Amino acid sequence: MCQPPANNEPETRRVIIAGAGPAGLLLQALLHNRNKATDARVTYNVTMIESRADLGQLNNEELQAHRSWMIGLAGHGLEAIKSVPDLYEKYCSDVGINVTEGNVFLGSKKISMGGGGNELDNGENFIVDRNFIVAALARYAKDHLADSPFYAAKYDTEMLYVDYENRRVLVRNKTTKEEEYLPYDLLVGADGIRSTVREALVKRHFDFELQVGDIFQTFKAVHVQRPEALSPNSMSLLPTCFPNFNGISLPETGGLINLSMGVPRNLFDEVPSDLKSDDPSVVEKYFRENFKAFTLSDEAYVELGKQWAGQRWNRTGMVHCNRYSSLECGIVLMGDSAHATSPSIGMGMNTALRDAQKFNELLDKFQDDLDEVLPQYSKDRVPEGNSLTDIALNTYCFDAKVGLRTMLSTMARTGLNKLLPFLVAKDYGMLIGRPEHTLADIYQMATEQGVLRKHRAINQRIRHEYFERETGMIKEKPGFSMLRRTALVVVPVAACAVAAYVKSN
């Protein structure tokens, strides 16, 4: 498929990348570098399609208005970025915070996650704003690809339809409303949870399995001044920070922290009314009186109230697929279109970046032959993507009490491993993101340590029971809820009374 023409000129291959997120932007940089190789067999003519604006055109001050999720950039993602010369050193190295300390706050009680000291033994692990990484990768494209005859970027452009039979896509400019068909030889679907590219696989392959859902959490996140109790490089877990809530504090640039708190959807009705208020002063007062982990400054409480009250409750999605490529369609899926996930373990962007890196390595291995590359990509990446989504969803339990017991067990295992490493294996969570361990490796460890199966059973039960009630499949009878609560008290008491009677006789 990729034999060079008789005149030894490289074959030109038309590549359309849908989605200027981490995976799409990294892949275009990798393909550009392939074009520069003196022995290149293929020249990749890349067109980037993105429905939003180009963040690479913004300066640092303008970018502050586009703050997004704080997410992890660990070994997997760092290795992927560093596979492009100068990309990390000149564009990405200063956009995040290297996390070196970890804590758990049980109320106001601060416990080290390091099993002795605060230092985390989990390799390089940066916390970055998702849009800051996107902007850095887009700036690289502006500096290195903009003048190339084999690169075009169409921002503010929607992809409407994939005509896989004729290998073309229909796009529309959001400003001019003009539509056009663009031909392709390879179409990369890096276009997120609601992927238009992925729809082609649904239509073409009867055996394509796709599940799109959500992470069953409702949450809010704010950016506020870092309190004195937290070091600039610390990450803190906040279990049961409010009734039914779990939270996390992540460091940001500019002396800030990203404070995120969420509640399972089945418990949202029980959220205190003050946290649902759209009055910043009500929210501020609630945090001052009820948030015990650490004390914020007066300015931070005021800002927190404004941000919290001024945003909607967020939900994010999850995607599971059983294949990430199609020879028949000339399509490959990367990032959220293949494996959108809960942000709980901070590996979503890392895995997206790794997708692009591994695809590029397969182009090397099979000398740009897509007949070999596309099937092998699915074979290699599907276990990683599905391991990612399962670990991220089921590392934490929707039952807060079970989740707290698991967290304490994890801390105990970590301490014992430091004392008796030859007897007690590391907790799998301490190895997530290390480049020497694939996510499939981590999935097996988590399964062997008994966490995933236990949490999955509980989470699936809670989720299904909520679905039954939400859709009206099961209707709670009047008085049944009170009867059930009464039974929870009366039955154990009666059982104890019977046991005492039997014993006395």
pLDDT of 68 reads 83
What is the average per-residue pLDDT within 346-371?
96
Average pLDDT, the chain: 90
- pLDDT of residue 85 exceeding 80, the answer is yes
pLDDT of 164 reads 97
Distance CA 34, CA 24 (A): 15
- pLDDT of residue 505 exceeding 70, the answer is no
* Banded model confidence at residue 118, pLDDT cuts 50, 70, 90: very low
What is the average per-residue pLDDT within 322-334?
98
What is the average per-residue pLDDT within 327-337?
98
pLDDT over 90 percentage in the chain: 72
> Tokens in use for 110?
């601060």
How do residues 145-178 score in pLDDT, each as one tens digit?
989 999 999 999 999 999 999 999 999 999 999 9
Count CB neighbours of 372 within 10 A. 17
* Banded model confidence at residue 123, pLDDT cuts 50, 70, 90: low
Alpha-helical (H) ranges within 37-129 are: 60-63, 75-82, 87
pLDDT of 489 reads 46
Shortest CA distance to 463 belongs to which of 399, 400, 402, 401?
399
What is the average per-residue pLDDT within 468-493?
65
Shortest CA distance to 313 belongs to which of 348, 278, 354?
278
What is the average per-residue pLDDT within 396-400?
87
What is the average per-residue pLDDT within 339-355?
94
pLDDT of 308 reads 97
What is the average per-residue pLDDT within 42-47?
97
What is the average per-residue pLDDT within 334-359?
95
Contact 136, 434 (CB under 8 A): no
Spell out the residues 6+ positions from residue 489 whose beta carbon is closer than 8 angstroms to its own. Answer: none
Identify the residue with better confidence: 491 or 76: 76
Length reported for the chain: 505
pLDDT of 174 reads 96
Distance CA 500, CA 90 (A): 74
* Banded model confidence at residue 475, pLDDT cuts 50, 70, 90: confident
Contact 252, 95 (CB under 8 A): no
Report how far apart the first and last C-alpha atoms of the chain are (Å, whole number).
Answer: 87
pLDDT of 135 reads 96
- pLDDT of residue 490 exceeding 70, the answer is no
Count CB neighbours of 70 within 10 A. 27
Distance CA 390, CA 442 (A): 11
What is the average per-residue pLDDT within 97-104?
89
Location of structure tokens 């994010």: 316
**Number of helices and strands in the chain (H, E):** 16, 20
Distance CA 387, CA 391 (A): 6
DSSP structure string for 211-249: EEEE-SEEEEEEEEEPPTTS-TTEEEEEETSSTT-EEEE
* Banded model confidence at residue 265, pLDDT cuts 50, 70, 90: very high
What is the average per-residue pLDDT within 244-273?
93
CA separation (Å) from 265 to 220, 258, 262, 391, 395?
A: 13, 22, 9, 19, 17
- pLDDT of residue 491 exceeding 60, the answer is no
- pLDDT of residue 363 exceeding 80, the answer is yes
Give pTM, 2 decimals: 0.89
> Tokens in use for 113?
């996650």
pLDDT of 26 reads 98
pLDDT of 296 reads 97
What is the average per-residue pLDDT within 468-487?
71
Alpha-helical (H) ranges within 220-369 are: 273-276, 280-290, 298-309, 336-339, 348-365
Contact 293, 105 (CB under 8 A): yes
Identify the residue with better confidence: 445 or 123: 445
Spell out the residues 6+ positions from residue 119 whose beta carbon is closer than 8 angstroms to its own. Answer: 100, 101
Contact 322, 209 (CB under 8 A): yes
What is the average per-residue pLDDT within 56-84?
90
Identify the residue with better confidence: 333 or 427: 333
- pLDDT of residue 495 exceeding 50, the answer is no
Count CB neighbours of 382 within 10 A. 20
